[in-house]
Amino acid sequence: MSLNEGRIGRAEAVTAAAMSMCVNGVFAVDNSYAYEGGSSAFVTVPLSALLSLLPVLLLIKSMERQGSRDLAAHFSRMTGGFFGAVSMLLFSAGLVYCAAKPLANFAQVMQKLVYDGAKYTAILAFIIPVTVFAAWKGFECIGRTARCFAWLLIGMFLVAVISSVKGYEIYRLCPFLSDGAGHMAAFTASDTLLFLPPLAALTIEGGALQGHSHIRKAACGAALASAAITFIAQLAVSLAYPAAILKDMAMPLYRIGFLRADTGYVMRLDKLFIMVWLSGAMISSSYCIYSAARLFSGVFGQRDVRPAVGAVSLVVCGLILMGLEGRNGNIRTVNDIISRYGAAVVYAPLLAVTLAAFIRRPDKKNREASA
Amino acid sequence: MGFFADKLSALTAFDKAYDEFELTETEPGSPDEPYGMRSPGRVDAASGDLGRVSGSIKKNKKRLSELFRTDINGDVILRGFCTGGGQSMLIAYMNGMADDSKINEFILKPLMEYEGSERGLDGLTENTVRISEVRLEKDMGEAVLAIMDGLTVLFAEGDGSCAVLETHGYEKRAVSAAENEKVVLGPKESFTESFRTNVTLLRRIIHTDDLTVESRMSGGRNNTRLALIYREGFTNEKLIKEVRRRLDGIDVDTPLTSGILEQLIEKHSLFPVPRILSTERPDRAASHIMQGRVCLIVEGSPFALVLPITFFSLMNSPEDVYMRRPLGTVLRVVRYIGAAVSVMIPGYFLALALYHQGILTTEVLSTVIASRKMVFEPIGVEILLLLIIFQMIREAGQRVPGSIGQAIGIIGGLIMGQAAVTAHLASSVVLIIVAASGLGNFCIPDYSTQIAASWVRLAMLLAAWLGGLAGMVAASLLTVCLLADMKSFGVPFLSPFAPKTRSKRPLILRGAIGLKGSADDYMNTESEGRRRRV
Least confident of A267-271, A297-301, B62-66: A267-271
Residue B14: other Cβ atoms inside 10 A = 12
Q: Determine, for residues A126 and B14 on separate chains, whether the beta-carbon distance falls below 8 Å.
A: no
Lowest mean pLDDT among A79-83, A198-202, B188-192, B256-260: A79-83
A116 to chain B: nearest residue by CA? B355
Task: Say yes or no: B66 contacts chain A, CB-CB below 8 A.
Answer: no
CB contact under 8 A, B238 and A138: no
Greatest mean pLDDT among A103-117, B199-213, B461-475 lies in B461-475
- The candidate with the shortest Cα–Cα distance to A51, out of A224, A269, A202, is A224
pLDDT, tens only, B90-130: 999 988 888 888 899 999 999 998 888 888 888 888 888 88
Residues in chain B with CB shorter than 8 Å from the CB of A6 are: 19, 22-23
User: What span, in angstroms and rounded, lies between the C-alpha atoms of A152 and A163?
Assistant: 16
B7 touches chain A (CB under 8 A): no
Rounded Cα distance between B505 and B519, Å, is: 10
pLDDT tops 70 at residue B2: no
Q: Do B498 and A4 touch (CB under 8 A)?
A: no
| Chain A interface test: which of B237, B271, B366, B469 (most A C-beta within 10 Å) | B469
Size of interface A-B (CB pairs under 8 A): 161
In chain A, the residue whose alpha carbon lies closest to the alpha carbon of B500 is A11
With an 8 Å Cβ cutoff, is B336 touching chain A? no
Nearest to B484 among A4, A123, A148 (CB): A148
The more confidently predicted of residues A182 and B316 is B316
Question: Rounded to whole angstroms, how far apart are CA atoms A10 and A143?
Answer: 9
Q: Kindly list the residues from chain B whose CB atom is less than 8 angstroms away from the CB atom of residue A264.
A: 361, 363
Judge whether B167 and B103 are in contact, CB under 8 Å. Answer: yes
Contact B481 A130 (CB under 8 A): yes
B28 in A contact zone (CB under 8 Å): no
Chain A CB contacts of B485 below 8 Å: 137-138, 140-141, 144
| Residues of A with Cβ-Cβ distance to B271 under 8 angstroms | none
Tell if the CB–CB gap between B473 and A115 is shorter than 8 Å. Answer: no
The domain segmentation of chain A, as residue ranges, is 10-370
Instruction: Name the CA dihedral angle for B162, B166, B169, B172, rounded to a multiple of 10 degrees.
Output: 130
Q: Considering chain B, what is the average pLDDT of its residues?
A: 82
Query: Are A157 and B513 a contacting pair, CB within 8 Å?
Result: no
Contact between A277 and A16 (Cβ < 8 Å): no
- Looking at residue B8, its pLDDT comes to 62
| Nearest residue of chain A to residue B532 (CA atoms) | A1
Identify whether the C-beta of residue B368 lies closer than 8 Å to the C-beta of residue B375: no
Mean local confidence (pLDDT), A113-136: 91
User: Which of A272-276, B313-317, B505-509 is predicted least confidently?
Assistant: B505-509
Q: Using CB atoms, which residue from B18, B472, B500 is nearest to A147? A: B500
B516 pLDDT more than 60: no
Interchain proximity A148–B361, CB inside 8 Å: no
Distance of residue B25 Cα from the nearest chain A Cα, in angstroms: 9
Q: Do A145 and B484 touch (CB under 8 A)?
A: yes
Assigned architecture for domain A10-370: Up-down Bundle (1.20)
- Say whether pLDDT at B283 is over 70: yes
Nearest-5° Cα angle at A196, A194 to A201: 115
pLDDT at residue B245 is higher than 50: yes
Q: Chain B: nearest CA to A212, how far in angstroms?
A: 14
Averaged pLDDT for residues A19-26:
95
Closest chain B residue to A270 measured between Cα atoms?
Answer: B359
| Whether the predicted pLDDT of A57 surpasses 80 | yes
In tens, the pLDDT along B188-215 reads: 899 999 888 899 999 989 988 888 899 8
Distance in angstroms (rounded) separating the CA atoms of residues B124 and B113 = 12
Mean of per-residue pLDDT scores for chain A? 86
- Mind listing the pLDDT tens digit for each residue in A176-187? 776 677 788 888
Confidence at residue A48, expressed as pLDDT on a 0 to 100 scale: 94
The Cα of B245 is separated from the nearest Cα of chain A by a number of Å equal to 15
For residues A149 and B497, give the distance between their C-alpha atoms in angstroms, rounded to a whole number.
Answer: 11
How close, in Å, is residue A141 to chain B by CA atoms?
A: 5
Does A1 contact B489 at a Cβ distance shorter than 8 Å? Answer: no
pLDDT at B149 over 90: no
Instruction: Report DSSP letters for A225-281, one per residue.
Output: HHHHHHHHHHHHHHHHS-HHHHTT-SSHHHHGGGG----TTSPP-HHHHHHHHHHHH
- Residue B23 scores a pLDDT above 50: no
A133 chain-B contacts, CB cut-off 8 A: 478, 481
Q: Write the pLDDT tens digit of every residue in A302-357.
A: 878 889 999 999 999 999 998 887 766 677 788 788 888 888 888 888 998 899 98
Decide if A268 and B534 are in contact by the 8 Å CB cutoff. Answer: no
Number of CB atoms found within 10 A of residue A132's CB: 22
8 Å CB contact of A3 and B489 = yes
CB spacing of A266 vs B481 below 8 angstroms? no
Tell me the chain B residues in contact with residue A114 when contact means C-beta distances shorter than 8 Å. 356, 468-470
pLDDT at B29 over 70: no
Residues of B whose CB is below 8 A from A145: 477, 480-481, 484, 498
- For chain A, say whether B378 makes contact (Cβ under 8 Å): no
Residues in chain A closer than 8 A to B532 (CB atoms): 2, 210
CB-based contact A11 B500, cutoff 8 Å: yes
Determine how many CB atoms are found less than 10 A away from the CB of residue B8: 10
In which band, very low, low, confident or very high, does the pLDDT at B16 lie, cut at 50, 70 and 90?
A: very low
Chain center to CA of A188: 15
Diameter of chain B by CA atoms? 102
Q: Torsions phi, psi of B78, nearest 5? A: -125, 105
Q: What is the pLDDT of residue A370?
A: 60
Whether B36 has a pLDDT exceeding 50, the answer reads: no
Q: Select the residue of B364, B481, B497 nearest A133 (Cβ to Cβ).
A: B481
Is residue B465's pLDDT more than 80? yes
Is the Cβ of B146 closer than 8 Å to some Cβ of chain A?
no
B486 close contact with A: CB closer than 8 A:
no
| Cross-chain residue pair A147–B499, CB shorter than 8 Å | yes
Sheet holding B294-298, edge to edge: B211-217, B225-231, B294-298, B304-307, B277-279
HSE-CB at A54 with a 13 A cutoff on CA atoms is 8
Q: Stretch B260-283: mean pLDDT, rounded? A: 87
